Amino acid sequence: KQKEIEVKKQTCQAIGKQLSFKRKKAANPLSSLIISELKQINLEKADLQISLEEHPLTSKGFESIRFLFSANRGHPLIPLEECASGGELSRVLLAMKTILAEKEGSNTLVFDEIDSNVGGRTATVLGEKLRLIAEKKQVICVTHFVQVARLATAHFAVTKKEEEGKAVTHIEKLFDKEREAEYERMAGRPESF
């Protein structure tokens, strides 16, 4: 039994070392790809580094992974979860999903309010990026931004209504005039309500 435990321990260590090697090999190239994507979505001065902090072997390997981030030049890199705004987190997630979708060969990407906590020009830039992605992949995107919705090839309105005391969700494909009316409603124009 002791021999069996020792064999399992050696196997786990060997797998952990392989994982460490692959992580170390991938960390800098992945960081560079994410930075490149961030520059395209209105975070031109952002920096990101994947930090591998070594520790004794656990079920997750020989290291912990941290994403260090700075949105502005001249500021130190600190853990992403401690410094990024909601809009910055949305864009980092979009950058990562874009890169990983290419690597995984995924044909469909689903984004639920990937544009949350951004506005104005940044929403437009995100919409343009989503449209570029949609040239290669199917993109399903829930958005509240007219700038993003206008760039879609198909538009569905999702509404909730109470029916018999219960909230029910309705999805309706919109065409020409309906799309324009929905854009007006999304923009908050009172005559469209």
Q: What is the mean pLDDT of residues 18-45?
A: 94
What per-residue confidence (pLDDT) applies to 77?
96
Model confidence pLDDT, tens digit, residues 144-161? 889 899 999 999 988 899
What per-residue confidence (pLDDT) applies to 51?
96
Give the confidence band of 191 by pLDDT, cuts at 50, 70, 90. low
What per-residue confidence (pLDDT) applies to 28?
96
Contact by Cβ (8 Å): 50, 31: yes
User: What Å distances lie between residue 17 and 23, 72, 150, 192, CA to CA?
Assistant: 10, 35, 49, 61
Give the confidence band of 107 by pLDDT, cuts at 50, 70, 90. confident
Instruction: Provide the 10 A C-beta neighbour count for residue 138.
Output: 11
pLDDT at 68 exceeding the cut of 90: yes
Q: What is the CA radius of gyration of the chain?
A: 22
pLDDT at 14 exceeding the cut of 70: yes
Q: Which residues have CB under 8 Å from 109's CB, separation 6+? A: 97, 98, 101, 133, 137, 138, 139, 140
pLDDT at 5 exceeding the cut of 90: no
What's the pTM value of the predicted model, to 2 decimals?
Answer: 0.78
